[in-house]
Every structure is written in structure tokens, then in C-alpha cells.
Structure 1
Amino acid sequence: MADAPFRNIAELLHDHAAAQPQQPALIQGGLRYSYGELNALVDRVASALQRDGVAPGEAIALCGLSTPLQAAIFLGALRAGVVVAPLAPSVTPADFAAMLADAQARWLFVDATAARLVPGLALPLCIALDAEAPGRAFESWLAPPGSTPQPVTLTPEAPFNIIYSSGTTGTPKGIVQPHGMRWMHVQRGAAYGYGPGKTTLLATPLYSNTTLVVFFPTIAFGGTVVLMPKFDAAGYLALAQQHRVTHTMLVPVQYQRIMALPQFGSFDLSAFEAKFCTSAPFSATLKRDVLARWPGGLVEFYGMTEGGGTCILEAHKHPDKLHTVGRPSEGHDMRLIDEAGMELPAGEAGEVVGHSPGMMAGYHGQPEKTREAEWFAPDGKRFIRTGDIGRFDEQGFLTLFDRKKDMVISGGFNIYPSDLEAQLRQHPAVADVAVVGVPSVEWGETPVAFVVHAAGDATPDTELRSWLNERVGKTQRLSDVQTIAELPRSAIGKVLKRELRDQYNKETKA
């Protein structure tokens, strides 16, 4: 399928339903949809949307936990050419209302986890996916059994979904991904052994691009997806053993929690072929541990939901490059630029920009934000800016230093929080840490560390600060260390540094 002509991913279900109607497609607990059952349900969803006049290119919104029904609705919308805006049930009511309005969603599908977000909103038609959710019952809305939708012809440029950014640095933006971008993910999947008889375990939410870059290739190649609506490390390992899982996508904090389990070695994980990771910094130490103790390959993807360029590190093939995020994927053009937008020569550090066949159309309804995210080469070639600072080595492997927006400029010197975080993690008292820049009258900005202590540890914050400051340059020294029970993270494990910064500023002004 690597060179197969473009198709609507949802249409591939017809092929699998005909070839292997009894093959499990989606599993969650005791609920299973075979490919025959899934294809029939997807037809009924698409038919209901067409019956109700939802036209190709218009949007629906999905909000709830990851379930086979959520996945079937997503696929049904795609079959009808309808754009899907999957929304997180953990957001604030204000952000939820803003995203729903931004997507211009014709229909909203919600489960009980999203019920708190709905009251008081001027809603489109609301469809309830369980008895505790508001709106019309899904079964009464669904088209009758045996319904088949009118065929829809789509181009690679047609919008596939609107993924809302995590909001780690501000108000979430709607990232419009076209069908061609998702098809690129499917084609890339040909190298990783997806297919009938292979099983993918997903413990990240379906509203996250992290999940979808593995979910759709699994379905496109006729494999089985096991959904875990709420992650816990021991439960994940039990499912992996039970279902003889071959593929998975996890974010670094999930790998960290799994590898830390004392009983990790008691689970049979021998069926694993490919483990993927993306979305947050993945330390070389953790990669090395996964490679040593967990069977199967380990592949790190570095890129953005907005697309542009992707680096891939096949860690099992390059154990000497674990400090990097790999090399640009085939056909991906990735470059480094300076503050003035000038391309930098080899060996220098700068902001990473990328061009590839998989790029967002833009931020939904925000052309000015779209322009801010773009960089154009002198020949007019369009690139997406990542906001990450990095450097390519002589073999073309990319090492990342930090997020441009997270970089602390103190007294005119650039300080990379990731450097300080890596140093602090070497102290036995530190289980987790995040460094942020806060306002300083004297220096403009100054770095502050938020530390999660190891179990039972009571090392004073002042001692940790002194320990770190003795080991770094004068310009890198921390002005403060604060103990925190747990770092605030998004659903896919990104540390919400904006919340830490706001919390610190609020406390110091009080």
C-alpha cells in the first residue's frame, strides 16, 4: 500500500469486510466489532448524516472517552465526506464552547464524561452516546439496519478532521488536516508490519493526533485495535499480554510509568513487533531501558499535528543516536532558520521548519495564525514552523534543545529548560521536573524548577537548588525550586508549563 493511489480510509473497510468479515476490528473490554459489523455500522452513521443534510466538508463534533462506538462514528462521518472535530472531555466549558463554535459543527456526539460541558450552550443537534449523556439517544438517531450511504468522491485536499491544539501555551487552535495527510500516514505504515492478524493497543485518546497516526493505519491494513479508555500501567500490560499485542503508541510518561512497575518482567510481551512514541521529549535513558527490556522495535516520531516535516528514529537500529529524534522521513524537507527567518548552514542551531506531502491546510478560521505558523523558502516553497530549536549532526540526525517559546532569556543569555531538567533528573530525590521562565526585575526572566520528589523523599527545595546551581554555568542558575505533587499534563503527556508559570506568578504576587 506504500505506493497505492489515494483512497478515503473509511472506504477501505469495504475491502476488509468482504475479505474477513469475522476478523475483530475494534475491541474494548467485552465489546467487539468485527469488520463486517463495523462496516455495517459505519454505513448506518454515514446514511444518517446524509439523511439529515450534513454535506461533505461540513463538520460534526465528537466528545467522550475512546470507545468502539466513537471510532465507528468517526469512520462513518469520513465515509460521508464529513469533517470530524474530536474534542477532549477534560477541557473547560469556555474552551469547549469556543472549539464547538470554531468548528461550526452541525452535530455534537457526547457521552457521560462530556455531560458537564453541555448545559447552557447554544448547541447543534446533540446525540447521546450513553444513558447519562444529554441529547437524543444514538440508537434512535441512527439510520436503520441495512442502510447504505450515497458514494462520496473526495480529493486529497478535502478536509479530514479538525484537531484542536492541546492549549499548553494558550487558547486551542483548530488544525485542519486534509485526507492526503492521513493517507500519507497510512502509506508510511506499510513499513511497520500492520495487517490482518496484527493487534494495536491504544491507551491515548481518539481526539489526539498521537492516537490517530496509529489508529488509521491499523484499520487501513485490516488489523485489530484494542482501545483502553483510561490508562494505567498494570492494566495496560495485562491487556498487552491478553491480546498478544503487536503494535502500540505510547507517550513518554506512559513508557516511564510502565517501565517503573516492579512486576514489568512478569508479563509476556513477546508478540510485540513495533512500539511507537511521540508528542513529548523522550529521554535517551528511557529509550535505552525500553530497548533492553521490552521485545520488538522502538520507533520515535518527531513532528507536529500541523504536519510539515517528520523525523523518525528507529531506536533499535541506531542505539548510538538515542539522544536524537532521528532523521527526516523520506520525501520530507527539514531545515533550520534563525530569528530573522534566514536559513542556517549545517552545524548551526535554529528553529526547525518542515515541508512534506502531509501538511495542514491551516488553522480553522484563523488565517493570521496560519501565516504565523508558515515559513516560505526563497523559491516560494511552503514550510511549517515547529517552534523547536535543534541542530542536525553530520549523519543528518536531529537533536532538539527546547521549545522556542519555553526558552528562558535571562540577562541576554539563552537558557534551555531541558538542559536544567536533564541535570536535575540525575539527583536521586527527583522523580519528575519541569523548568519554566518567570519574570525577573533584575534579569528580565529567570528559571524556576517545579520538582516531584521520589517516594518518601524529603530533600529541601533549597538543597536541590544549591545542588543544581553548583553544576551549571552562572547564567543558568535557578532562582527557585518548588515542590509539587504532580506536574500538570495534557491527556497525551505534555507538561502544561503555562499553568506552572501562571501558578508561580500568582503566588509571588499574592
Structure 2
Amino acid sequence: MSKTHTETAKGAKVSAAANISSHLPSMAKERPNQAAIMFPVKKEYQSWTYDQLNKAVDAYAHVMKASGVSKGQKALVFLTCGPDLIATVFALFKMGVLPVMLDPGMGKDNVRRCIEHVQPDVFIGVRLAHLMRWLYRKSFASVKFNFTANEWFPGCIELAKEAPKYTEPFPVTPVSEHETAAILFTSGSTGKAKGVVYTHSIFQNQVKYLRELFNFKPGELDMPGYPLFALFDIALGMTSVIPRLDPSKPAACDPALLVETIEEYNVTTCQGSPAIWRKVYNYCKDESIKLDTLKRLITFGAPIPTDLLQGMFSIMAEGAEIYTPYGATESLPVAIIPGSYLVDHAAERTIEGAGTCVGKPIKGMDVKIIKITDEPITDFDESLVLPDGEVGEIVVHGPVVTQEYYREDEANALSKMNDGQGRKWHRMGDTGYFDKDHNLWFCGRKAHRVETEKGTLFPVMVEGMANNHPRVFRSALVGVGPKGKQIPVLVIEPKPGSFPEEDKQKELLSRQILARYDENELYSQIKDVLFYDSFPVDPRHNVKIHREELAVWAAEELGYDTEK
């Protein structure tokens, strides 16, 4: 047996190298003086080098261990994005403690439900989060250890204050590759938020994919619009430039601040929701600004509209590329497509009702389309698989596919399938199909399909035909009534300044939009068009439309009895 491996009681090999935190000490040794993280403090940016970050991680781990925190415990983390968040999460990984991360933007009641469900042992949060703990003591009853990062709160240990007491390295805890590393909650944009169990091997494979897919090089500067991605920057040896925005409200960002940061520090890569880049593009267009150092843009949360793709290309560096990886918290990435391909080859098909092309499956990922059902499927087999061109549910297997939700038997039964070879397939909950070139097309969430007496309508396919209208910002197809007898209703969010105020204007715009469906027998049954000022969206990316909420509103507007 090698010196780096030992055998667990179950026979699984463990090693320090398998622990996702092992990337940090390696990078600190290789590039100690490079900035690991740059972060805003008031109006200026400050930085921590890899050496500083690594030493902070070691010290934080020592503080928590001395306080009684131990391997296998769950630690709920409620810190703002910055060096303390990065150092705390890496310290937890290093200890073999499981970070639990969820979106505070999902609302107080949902947050409390998630906390009560996961029952954390440790709570590390900002002062406001600890006030919530005081107010809702029952929800936090499982917590035994309370910490802040760098501020005082009664009954809490302040990590930064205690850290100077410890100067020795903290050893990376050996783990098996399939050992649980973290619990990351979904946004709850379709159904309740669920804790996704991440293993160390999934994180390791995500790092590998990111390096291969985007050709990331150590020393590059990345500006991540979502906190979790800053952790990957560190594993990749990049400098993570924390943007001046609230990650729970990306659509409310100040584009001038983001552009200023990109230009001042020569940022090469940006990541984030299309809601961010819509504002950045509009600002750059109005101010005649070109982001000459920006060579990669990675968007996530929802497909990026063609007009925004074209706009961003016009302000980025020559030869730059935009990527829209397809995936979900449960499996990311699954497929990828360059934005240039979307603009040149797929955009016209979207307008014709083909859905949204998300590209080819990533090497190592097995993707199939199976018959649609809302029932559990215990065993996967090839008889379920549909031929190319036929819309069904997207299912995936591969090295970044998570195996379970935390303590969610019903959700696991509905989402996971065994294939008889010891592998689990994940049902994405999305509908789609493969075209003749084996490109994967996304047609909408399975839960959002509209089942009428004449057949099933898939929202993204229908909406793509409406979204190209010059006065339409985005649209949402919803169904009113019971499945199988639903009435399709198209809800339109007009572009700013284009909302039709008078009935005649609404009638004219409705006719123009509906005319696009005249030649399609299934789509021509859409007769109702409604107009909505600003769609309700998810708290994480501010782009996923809350269609269930719109469906209830549409039923009320049109006077349909939803009880029938």
C-alpha cells in the first residue's frame, strides 16, 4: 500500500489528494505571491495572495477543530462573498466537514425549512444571520458550534480574531473520492429547494472539465457572478475578482461598477446570469465602451437570448467567445455550445420553434432522451430511449452527476434510476431532443409542459417564435386547467417602453404574435395573449421565470375556474 492511501473500514481507498481542498496548498506552493482573491472594501479593491489565503485556511481549521468541530459534521455557511467565505469553505473541506450552502434569497420560510431539514451541527454566518438564529431558535436547534468570520456576536467564536494563535499548517484530511464533500441546495425555482449531495470526486471532475472546456490558465483573472464559482477559481490557480454586486440580486447590479472593475484589472473571464450581462451590454452600448481584455463570457441560469449574444460579442475582445453550459445543480456541466455557433447556426431554428440548442454532450457524459412520465422509474433500460428528433425527458449519467438528494426519499425516487451496472442516471426534469447532428435541444421544464386535448406544447419551443417580435422582451407559455385539457395562454413581457396600454394596442400586438403560429396545427390553438409588466423570476439567477405564479395569474385574468 502506498504512503498516500489507507483503507477505510468499508475497503474504500482514502487519500489527501482526493480532498478537493488539496488544490489550495498546491497552488500556494507553486504561486505564493499571486493574488488568489481580489475583493471590494468600500470603494477600493484589496487582495489576498495564495500564501495568505492558504495560511488563513489553516488557521480557521485549527480554530474550528479546537472548538470541537470534527470530520463528518455539517456546517451551514451564511457569509458574504469574499476572502472569509473562500477561506471558511476551504477550511471545512480540509477538515472533512461538510459545507451546507443555500440561497438566502429563496425567502425566510424556505430557508428555515431547509435548515430544519439538514440539521447542521455548525453555523458560520454574518451578524444578521445570527440574529435570524436567535429569532428562530427551533430551526437552529441542531447547531452546537457558532462562528462569525470577522465580526463580534454574542456566543460566537470569531475566526479572524482567533486565527493568529495558530501558525502551523493544518493537514488535509484524507477522504475517499466518493465521500460526501458538501450539500448544495437547489434554488427551488421549480418545486421546493432540495439539498444535493456533492462528493469530492464530483468537485474534482468539475475542476477538470472547467480546465479542459475553457482552457483556463493559472494567473488569469476571473470575475464570478455567483459565489460558488470563486472556489473553482482557486482550485484552478486563477485570481478571483469578486464583483461589486449582491449575488442574490444579480438583476439589480450596477453595470458601471462591473465595467470599471473589468477595465481596471484587465479581467479575462466573466461568469454570471444573463440578467447581469443584459445590463452590462446596455451600459457599454450607451457609453461606447469596448471590453478589450474580456475573452470569455460564461452564462448560466437560463439560455441567453440571441440579441444579447450578438450584443456582447460586439463589446468583447476580438476572437472572444461566449459559452452557455447546460446543466443543473444536480449535474453540471452536461453539454456546452459556443455562442458563435448559436448565432450563426441555431438562432433561426429557435425562431422557427425548434427550442434552444444547448450543444453536444461533454466528453464522458452519457445523455439520453426518454419517454415522458411524471412517475418514478426505478430501472433504466434502452427501451425507454426515444429516437432522435422526438421530444422527451433528458436523462444523464457521468462523472459530475450527483447520486442523491439529502434525506429526500420521494425526490430521489422521482429523479434517480439504476441501470443494473451499479450506475445511477439522473432525470434532469427538462424536456428536449437530439437533432440529426447529435446536438441537444432544450424545450422547457417537464413540469411546465402544457397538455391540451390536441397534444402537448413545450414552452421554450413556443416562446422562441414569439420572442423574436421587436416589442417582446420575453414570453411564457402557461397552461390553465387540468392536465390533458389545459388551455394554453401566452404571457408577454414587453420590452421597456413597449407595453400596450390601450385595448386596441393589445389586440394588435396579440394578433401579430399569434400570426406566427397560424401554420402550426398544434400551436394555432393558442388564442389567449396576456401582457405582464415584469415576470416573477428565481432568486438565484433572476432569469428563470416562475411560470406557476403566472399560470395562477392568467387563470384569474381570464376568469377560468382552476378548481375544475
Distance 1:193 1:134, change over 3 A: farther
In the other structure, the counterpart of 2:486 is 444
Is the deviation greater in 216-225 or in 470-479? Answer: 470-479
Asked whether 1:429 is paired with 2:440, we answer no
Q: Distance in 2 between matches of 1:412 and 1:193?
A: 48
* Aligned partner of 1:500 among 536, 547, 550: 550
Q: Give TM-score, length-normalised by structure 1.
A: 0.89
State the AA in 2 paired with 1:232.
D
Report matched runs for 1:154-303 at 5 Å: 154-191=175-212, 192-204=214-226, 206=227, 212=228, 214-228=229-243, 229-230=245-246, 231-261=253-283, 263=285, 266-295=288-317, 296-303=320-327
Q: Distance in 1 between matches of 2:363 and 2:531?
A: 44
Q: 1:348-401 CA deviation, whole Å, 9 max, x = no partner?
A: 221111111112131001133112111344766421111211121222111111
Q: Distance in 2 between matches of 1:503 and 1:391?
A: 30
Is the deviation greater in 243-252 or in 318-327? Answer: 318-327
State the AA in 2 paired with 1:335.
K
Match of 2:276, SS state, is helix
Q: Does structure 1 conserve the Cα–Cα contact (< 8 Å) formed by 2:297 and 2:321?
A: yes
In the other structure, the counterpart of 2:148 is 128
Q: Distance in 1 between matches of 2:341 and 2:554?
A: 42
In the other structure, the counterpart of 2:63 is 48
In the other structure, the counterpart of 1:332 is 365
Between Structure 1 and Structure 2, how many residues are aligned?
499
Q: Does structure 2 conserve the Cα–Cα contact (< 8 Å) formed by 1:130 and 1:137?
A: no
Q: Give TM-score, length-normalised by structure 2.
A: 0.81
Is the deviation greater in 25-34 or in 257-266? Answer: 257-266
State the AA in 2 paired with 1:499.
E
State the AA in 2 paired with 1:100.
I
Distance 1:302 1:292, change over 3 A: same
Q: Does structure 2 conserve the Cα–Cα contact (< 8 Å) formed by 1:25 and 1:223?
A: yes
Distance 1:502 1:6, change over 3 A: farther
Is the deviation greater in 356-365 or in 452-461? Answer: 452-461
Aligned-pair distance for 1:252?
A: 2.2
Aligned-pair distance for 1:450?
A: 4.5
Query: Which structure has the greater CA radius of gyration?
Result: 2
In the other structure, the counterpart of 1:320 is 345
State the AA in 2 paired with 1:306.
E
Match of 1:324, SS state, is strand
In the other structure, the counterpart of 1:368 is 410
Q: Which residues of structure 2 form unaligned runs of 5+?
A: 1-15, 247-252, 348-355, 378-383
Identity of aligned residues (%): 21
In the other structure, the counterpart of 2:38 is 27
Q: Does structure 1 conserve the Cα–Cα contact (< 8 Å) formed by 2:472 and 2:492?
A: no
Q: Distance in 2 between matches of 1:73 and 1:406?
A: 38
Aligned-pair distance for 1:62?
A: 1.1
Root mean square deviation, CA, Å: 2.9
Match of 2:427, SS state, is strand
Asked whether 1:59 is paired with 2:59, we answer no
State the AA in 2 paired with 1:302.
Y
Aligned-pair distance for 1:433?
A: 3.1
Distance 1:489 1:92, change over 3 A: closer
Q: Does structure 2 conserve the Cα–Cα contact (< 8 Å) formed by 1:309 and 1:356?
A: no
Report matched runs for 1:3-14 at 5 Å: 7-14=18-25
Q: Distance in 1 between matches of 2:126 and 2:332?
A: 34
In the other structure, the counterpart of 2:394 is 352
Is the deviation greater in 316-325 or in 272-281? Answer: 316-325
Q: Does structure 2 conserve the Cα–Cα contact (< 8 Å) formed by 1:436 and 1:497?
A: yes
In the other structure, the counterpart of 1:88 is 103
Report matched runs for 1:377-456 at 5 Å: 377=419, 381-439=423-481, 443-455=485-497
In the other structure, the counterpart of 1:209 is none
State the AA in 1 paired with 2:289.
F
Distance 1:302 1:476, change over 3 A: farther
Match of 2:428, SS state, is strand
Aligned-pair distance for 1:113?
A: 5.5
Q: Distance in 2 between matches of 1:405 and 1:91?
A: 20
Q: Does structure 1 conserve the Cα–Cα contact (< 8 Å) formed by 2:73 and 2:121?
A: yes
State the AA in 1 paired with 2:536.
L
Q: Does structure 2 conserve the Cα–Cα contact (< 8 Å) formed by 1:337 and 1:352?
A: yes
Aligned-pair distance for 1:317?
A: 6.0
Aligned-pair distance for 1:503?
A: 4.5
Q: Distance in 1 between matches of 2:116 and 2:460?
A: 36
Q: Does structure 2 conserve the Cα–Cα contact (< 8 Å) formed by 1:233 and 1:257?
A: yes
